[in-house]
Amino acid sequence: MTQEWTRIRYEQPVDRVARIVLARAETANAQDYQLLSELNQAFDRATKDAQIRVVILAADGKHFSSGHDLRQLNPDMCHFPTVGTWASFDQPGAEGYMHREAEMYVGLCWRWRNLPKPTIAQVQGKVIAGGLMLVWPMDLIVCSEDASFSDPVVAFGVNGHEYFVHPFEAGARLAKEMLFTGRAIGAAEALQRGMVNKVVPRDQLEAETLKLASHIAERASFGLTLAKQSVNQTLDAMGMWTAIQSAFGLHHVGHNHNQRLFGTLVDPAGIDIIRKQAKEG
């Protein structure tokens, strides 16, 4: 069955490897709910295809992802297939919005993190806030030398983006520095800190990612699944899911606080802070 997607492309560049490409280069691959829904469908397609052993997540354009598309925060959820148990999307106050974020952000990220096949993020340019929520659920990360990773949203009066795995991905002290300062972590530092697996020149990014994916795809599919589950379950035993849920609750305390003070989900002063830092960077 051919899927009619407008935000992503699905490709099979080499044997046993699927590649899903974010295709909103004109918005620096900002994530609206339509993109996230299509991405989830594409991951399902790759997972259900017995011929596919490895899945690459890539992106068109200069930047991998600029994060959430702030122009679409309250869409009609009846237009999107849901996969979790959250359902009170239309309720007033904090309830409806928390349900939407639990489904479209935390729920989908956790689902992708637990796909039974190895996944590789192919990353170039900037990865900002919600962009990390696409990169960090992947098993491996190959990035170009110009890649950078940041979560500046503490300036908005929240604790960070919704899929809060910063201490697991960056280590506790670097996670705090990222959040407190909003600064971007460059590719070389990310490699040194263990946040990415490989850094390559931009013009070699696609080839090197495919080379790694093809190498992995030579191994038995069930062995790959068992190895992935073993590592993920170790992180689970360390409290990863509980930590995400705790931070997600605090995230919505921040939203509620901002709504009471400013009538918006985020502190509007944060916009100027983030823009100023972007210009200085």
- DSSP character string of 195-213: S-SEEE-GGGHHHHHHHHH
| CA gap 271, 68 in Å, rounded | 14
Please write the tens of the pLDDT for every residue from 109-136: 999 999 999 999 999 999 999 999 999 9
Write down the architecture of domain 8-280 according to CATH. Alpha-Beta Complex (3.90)
Please write the tens of the pLDDT for every residue from 236-263: 999 999 999 999 999 999 999 999 999 9
Q: H helices of the chain, where?
A: 33-48, 93-101, 108-113, 132-135, 166-170, 172-181, 187-192, 205-217, 221-237, 240-262, 269-280
Strand 119-123 versus strand 148-150 pairing type:
unpaired
**What Cα–Cα distance (Å) separates residue 162 from each residue in 130, 188, 249?**
8, 26, 9
At residue 1, the pLDDT reads 41
Domain ranges of the chain: 8-280
CA 5 from chain center: how many Å? Answer: 19
Those residues whose C-beta lies under 8 Å from the C-beta of residue 40, and which sit 6 or more positions away, are 83, 108, 111, 112
Please write the tens of the pLDDT for every residue from 41-79: 999 999 999 999 999 999 999 999 999 997 776 778 888
As a whole-number percent, the residues of the chain with pLDDT over 70 amount to: 98
Please write the tens of the pLDDT for every residue from 12-48: 999 999 999 999 999 999 999 999 999 999 999 999 9
Average pLDDT score, the chain = 95
Those residues whose C-beta lies under 8 Å from the C-beta of residue 191, and which sit 6 or more positions away, are 197, 198, 199
